[in-house]
């Protein structure tokens, strides 16, 4: 019963998604932007993200009456601007031979201008739009199925859904259209969702519809696991760019691969579904909590953090065998200050160092200002010349000042190419990968260095370090 409770804590349910992630992070304006496909298309191209080309849009019956049908290429897609779940979309493969005004649909049936007009009227009336309000119809270029996905897709184009939160891609799945879903990549309509290992961009487990676990492409012996997603790194970056540009704090980006143009963003989703967890056999909630509050400055950094944190199924197996958890070379750490306040930072895991050290400024925010100031006032020359190896100088400082400097536990003398440094050592508590560690750390000026904290061997006993992460 208890394990059921703890493991269900890692899963993101509808209530938590709406209240904790969508409500505070996705403001109304940003949501509207995601719901309106033409608008998000324009916004994305402005941000330099490739999208399927807009051919024309029809916003009223008058434009429909005066529409010049000759401008349509032989293959295109007709969509409602505010459609829902892939409804109301018509995919046209080509013109019927020798006729300029008759097309062939993806299912082989014939489509005339009259058919197109009726369908556009339906769209304008809001038949496919959210809450049935009047809508706009638009034509966009039809993407061509890329070679890599040809064996896996039934009609339609597969796409890759990436959930991005706080500029970090946290979970992804490949969505494959099936016979059951009538060529649509939507899971609710019977499409297949295949989980993706974030680090390698290779597929893992798969689900069809809402919760049926599958291993093969239906009707074939083609394995769904082990598919290498092309352009994986580009896709992660596109998804993060889209998140920043759209202003959606919690975003599901749908990316397709065009045979000629590579990855393009199809659609933004302000309320991405939860089945991605079944496809990945992993809980989204814990992943979201891990990236919460991280300060991600650049897009490549966000992609790297996502890959580091959420890659590798193998690692979970390792964890259960060794009882140690696997961490990467950079980990999110929560430090607890003197007054109990928490500070989140990224720390470098350094197996070459014995002890752990933190930056002076970080130590000050944790409440060690008094210690640092008092330590700086010590006149080191009174201890005589610092000889090779520092011979007992640390001891002497401790004897003389140990009681008067608050929180000082020891001092350490470190020799390096730039000379000798004498550092104060204090005791702090930090939390890494859900484990609480209380330890001695030395305080040093790390202003020139990338990370404010390095964690040395002394504190890594409970962990295995995967340097590829």
Partner 1 sequence: MINQFSPLINFLLDQQINLDTIILLLLFPVVVTIVVILRQVVGIKAFGIYTPSIITLAFVFIGRERWLDIKYAIMIYVTVIFVGMMMRYVLKKLRLLYLPRVAITLTVVSFSVLALLAIAGYFGRTGFASAPIFPILVIITLVEKFVTVQIEKGSRTAMILAIETLFIALIGYTILSPTTFVGEDIISFTLAHPAIVLLILPINIFIGKWTGLRLNEYFRFRHVIKKIQ
Quick check: 14 binds partner 1 (CB under 8 A)?
Answer: yes
Nearest to 149 by CA among 177, 168, 121: 177
Quick check: 127 binds partner 1 (CB under 8 A)?
Answer: yes
Number of residues near partner 1 (by CB under 8 A): 34
Q: Find the binder of partner 1 among 10, 42, 200, 396 (CB under 8 A).
A: 10
Q: Find the binder of partner 1 among 63, 67, 121, 439 (CB under 8 A).
A: 121
Q: Which is nearer to partner 1, 3 or 388 (CB)?
A: 3
Contact present, 274 and 49 (Cβ < 8 Å):
no
Quick check: 3 binds partner 1 (CB under 8 A)?
Answer: yes
What torsion do the CA atoms of 416, 421, 425, 429 make, to the nearest 10 degrees? -50
End-to-end CA distance of the chain: 34
Q: Find the binder of partner 1 among 118, 300, 387, 438 (CB under 8 A).
A: 118
- The region of 6-14, 54-62, 235-243, 363-371 touching partner 1 under the rule CB under 8 A is 6-14
Q: Which is nearer to partner 1, 213 or 314 (CB)?
A: 213
176-215 residues in contact with partner 1 (CB under 8 A) are 188-189, 210-211, 213
Quick check: 381 binds partner 1 (CB under 8 A)?
Answer: no
Exposed/middle/buried for 194, CB within 10 Å: 0-12, 13-18, 19+? Answer: buried
DSSP letter assigned to residue 229: P
Quick check: 125 binds partner 1 (CB under 8 A)?
Answer: yes
Q: Find the binder of partner 1 among 27, 57, 126, 336 (CB under 8 A).
A: 126
Q: Which is nearer to partner 1, 92 or 282 (CB)?
A: 282
Question: For residue 447, how far is the Cα from the chain centroid?
Answer: 29
Quick check: 20 binds partner 1 (CB under 8 A)?
Answer: yes
- Buried b or exposed e, range 288-298, using 16+ CB within 10 angstroms: bbbbeebebee
- The region of 142-150, 196-204, 273-281, 378-386 touching partner 1 under the rule CB under 8 A is 273-281
Q: Where are the beta strands (DSSP E) in 285-389?
A: 325-327, 330-336, 342-349, 356-359
Whole-number Å distance between alpha carbons of 100 and 96: 8
Nearest to 86 by CA among 208, 188, 176, 17: 188
- Buried b or exposed e, range 249-279, using 16+ CB within 10 angstroms: bbbbbbbbbbeeeebbbbbbbbbbbebbbbb
CB of 153 to partner 1, least distance (A): 22
Quick check: 107 binds partner 1 (CB under 8 A)?
Answer: no
Quick check: 128 binds partner 1 (CB under 8 A)?
Answer: yes
User: For binding to partner 1 (CB under 8 A), which residues are involved?
Assistant: 3-4, 7-8, 10-11, 13-16, 19-20, 84-85, 87, 118, 121-122, 125-128, 132, 188-189, 210-211, 213, 274, 277-278, 281-283
């Amino acid at each position: 019963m208890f394990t059921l409770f703890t493991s269900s804590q890692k899963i993101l349910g509808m209530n938590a998604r709406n209240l904790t992630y969508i409500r505070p992070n996705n403001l109304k304006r940003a949501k509207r932007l995601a719901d309106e496909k033409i608008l998000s298309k324009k916004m994305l191209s402005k941000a330099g993200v490739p999208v399927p080309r807009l051919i024309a849009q029809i916003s009223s019956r008058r434009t429909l009456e005066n529409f010049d049908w000759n401008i349509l290429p032989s293959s295109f897609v007709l969509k409602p601007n505010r459609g829902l779940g892939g409804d109301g979309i018509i995919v046209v493969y080509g013109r019927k031979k020798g006729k300029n005004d008759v097309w062939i649909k993806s299912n082989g049936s014939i489509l005339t201008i009259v058919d197109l007009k009726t369908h556009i009227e339906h769209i304008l009336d809001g038949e496919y739009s959210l809450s049935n309000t009047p809508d706009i119809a638009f034509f966009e270029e039809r993407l061509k199925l890329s070679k890599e996905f040809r064996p896996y897709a039934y009609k339609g184009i597969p796409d890759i859904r990436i959930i991005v939160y706080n500029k970090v891609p946290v979970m992804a799945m490949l969505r494959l259209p099936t016979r059951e879903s009538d060529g649509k990549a939507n899971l609710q309509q019977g499409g297949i969702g295949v989980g993706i290992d974030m680090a390698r961009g290779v597929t893992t487990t798969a689900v069809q519809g809402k919760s049926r676990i599958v291993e093969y492409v239906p009707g074939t012996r083609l394995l769904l696991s082990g598919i290498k997603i092309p352009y994986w790194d580009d896709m992660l970056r596109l998804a993060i760019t889209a998140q920043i540009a759209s202003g959606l704090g919690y975003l599901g980006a749908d990316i397709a691969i065009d045979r000629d143009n590579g990855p393009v963003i199809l659609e933004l989703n302000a309320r991405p579904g939860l089945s991605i967890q079944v496809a990945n056999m992993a809980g989204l909630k814990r992943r979201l909590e891990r990236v919460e509050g991280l300060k991600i400055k650049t897009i490549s950094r966000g992609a790297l953090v996502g890959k580091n944190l959420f890659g590798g199924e193998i690692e979970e197996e390792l964890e259960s065998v060794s009882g140690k958890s696997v961490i990467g070379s950079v980990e999110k750490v929560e430090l607890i200050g003197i007054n109990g306040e928490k500070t989140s930072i990224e720390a470098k895991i350094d197996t070459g160092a014995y002890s752990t050290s933190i930056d002076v400024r970080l130590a000050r925010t944790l409440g060690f200002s008094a210690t640092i100031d008092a330590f700086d006032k010590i006149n080191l020359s009174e201890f005589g010349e610092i000889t090779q190896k520092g011979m007992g100088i640390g001891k002497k400082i401790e004897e003389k000042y140990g009681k008067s400097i608050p929180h000082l536990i020891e001092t350490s003398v470190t020799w390096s190419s730039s000379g000798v440094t004498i550092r104060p050592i204090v005791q702090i508590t930090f939390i890494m990968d859900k484990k609480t560690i209380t330890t001695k750390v030395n305080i040093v000026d790390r202003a020139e260095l990338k990370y404010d904290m390095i964690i040395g061997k002394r504190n890594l006993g409970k962990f295995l370090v995967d340097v590829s992460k």
